Amino acid sequence: MSRVQPSPLNRSGFLGVGSFLMVVLSAALLASTTMWAERDFQKVLQVFFVDVEGGQATLFVTPAHQSLLIDTGWPGNDGRDADRIVAAAKKAGISEIDYVLITHFHNDHVGGLPQLVARIPVETVIDHGDNRESTDAPTVQVWQAYQQLLTENKFKRLTVKPGDKLPVKGVEATVISSDGLVIDHALAGAGQENAVCKGGESYAADQTENRRSLGTLITFGKLRILDLGDLTRDKEMELVCPNNKLGAMDIYIVSHHGWYQSGSPAFLNAIAPRVAIMDNGAKKGGTPSAWDIIEKSPRLQDLWQLHFSEEGGPGHNVAPEFIANPEGPDAANYLQLTAWPDGSFEIFNSRTSKTKQYSAQH
Ligand SMILES: [Zn+2]
């Protein structure tokens, strides 16, 4: 899995080689580079995968200059995660966040919200409804902090259910799952039988907030991006068995940081992503069994990781150029997706400063 292409600037290095073949190859590469460089960067969808050490914080900025942040990372650490999100917002050229979507009320997802709203204005927060997990102390604590922010009118609140469209301009965002319910019909173009369901996978019902995750499909022209928060395998089965309600994805934001409780074989076979991006931490997520299922999914070109996974070790991590934060002290490197409506996209690794391009496949 080491197929990162050189950046366009590096490609001109081929010109110094004298052989006829290399000249022809160089010309072809330069031609494709020019075409790529001529793309309209005013009409792109930008997505920043912020490193919050095994929580989630994914910032979408649409060509209509609207912003949607999915989750806010952890509480504490002097606002470390909120600072990293604000840094990404700055890079994206925005000074307020229109929508923050909280997938569920676990502290690695909603924990950073009080620190975030202290640093940058947030217009509306979207959620699945009230917290349902009253037995877990950290969850109760972040839920109370959330209610406090609501009392202080820090933002508007919008609660959504499966099938709803989010009011974000510049993309189409459809709610797939919310509060333990999932869409009851196949999306347009989907609905085919899923052969892997015949293996008889079945999973006990999760009892936590994870299964209540607010999941969305974000469509930008021909590009399809799936984010289901920490939705667990029992709920995945309702989405993809016996028929695949979702259809194939271009980009899969790996559920649950790549932990084994999510990402079943039937689910990965159904969504068959071209690219998967895993928001794992060094010591959280990236379970070898879940990593294997993603790597074996039918159309996968590349898996990217926000961190080297210690649990994965040498056998279950991608090649270094696909990892934002390798072993060692954390430097908060991020991954950035830039996408065009024709379905083409590129991914930038802030650590290596290299970009890999993916052409449209429709
Ligand atoms: Zn999580």
Average pLDDT rounded to a whole number, residues 343-362: 95
11 CA → ligand 1 middle, Å: 39
- 108 CA distance to ligand 1 centroid (A)? 5
Ligand 1 centroid–CA 215 distance in Å is 13
Over the stretch 57-93, which tens digit does the pLDDT of each residue have? 999 999 999 999 999 999 999 999 999 999 999 999 9
pLDDT band at residue 40 under the 50/70/90 scheme = confident
| Ligand 1 center to 285 CA (angstroms) | 9
Q: What is the pLDDT of residue 167?
A: 98
CB-CB contact of 215 with 176 (8 Å): yes
Residue 27 has pLDDT above 60, yes or no: no
- 126 Cα to the center of ligand 1, angstroms: 17
Average pLDDT over residues 319-344: 95
What are the tens digits of pLDDT across the range 256-270? 999 999 999 999 999
CA 355 to CA 349: how far, in whole Å?
6
Is the per-residue pLDDT at 22 higher than 60?
no
**Is residue 7 over pLDDT 80?**
no
- Please tell me the distance between residue 83's alpha carbon and the centre of ligand 1 in angstroms: 19
Before 242, cis peptide (omega within 30)? Answer: yes
> For 202-252, what is each residue's pLDDT tens digit?
999 999 999 999 999 999 999 999 999 999 999 999 999 999 999 999 999
What's the confidence (pLDDT) of residue 107?
A: 97
CA of 273 to the centre of ligand 1 (A): 21
pLDDT above 80: residue 42: no
| pLDDT for the residue numbered 29 | 54
The pLDDT mean for the chain works out to 91
Which DSSP symbol is given to 285? S
The band of 330, judged by pLDDT with boundaries at 50, 70 and 90, is confident
Span of 9-18, 35-44, 310-319 with lowest mean pLDDT = 9-18
pLDDT of the residue at 12:
34
pLDDT at 260: 96
Find the 76 Cα to ligand 1 centroid distance in Å.
16
b/e code 214-232 from CB counts within 10 Å (16+ = b): bbbbbbbbebbbbbbbbbb
Of residues 219 and 31, the one with the higher pLDDT is 219
Residues of the chain with pLDDT > 70, as a percent, come to: 90
Nearest to 27 by CA among 7, 11, 9, 38: 11
Write phi, then psi, for 313 (nearest 5 degrees): 60, -165
Query: Which of 72, 347, 88 lies closest to 225 in space, CA to CA?
Result: 347
CA atoms lying within 13 Å on the CB side of residue 318: 27
Give me ligand 1 centre to Cα 109, in Å: 6
Q: How far, in Å, from the CA of 209 to the mean position of ligand 1?
A: 10
Asked whether residue 19 carries a pLDDT value surpassing 90, the answer given is: no
Q: Tell me, what amino acid is at 229?
A: G
Cα 266 to Cα 34, 190, 297, 307: the distances in Å are 40, 15, 10, 26
pLDDT bucket at 31, cuts 50 / 70 / 90: low
pLDDT in tens, 139-188: 999 999 999 999 999 999 999 999 999 999 999 999 999 999 999 999 99
Separation of CA 105 and ligand 1 centre (Å): 9
pTM: 0.90
Across 85-118, b (16+ Cβ under 10 Å) vs e yields: bbebbeebebeebbbbbbbbbbbbbbbbbbbbbe
> Mean pLDDT across the stretch 18-31?
51
Q: Where is 265: in which H helix or E strand?
A: helix 265-271
Distance CA 341, CA 64 (A): 13
pLDDT at 13: 33
Mean pLDDT, range 274-280, rounded to an integer: 98
Question: What is the distance in A from the centroid of ligand 1 to the CA of 256?
Answer: 5
Residue 28 C-alpha to ligand 1 middle, in angstroms?
44
pLDDT over 70 (residue 193): yes
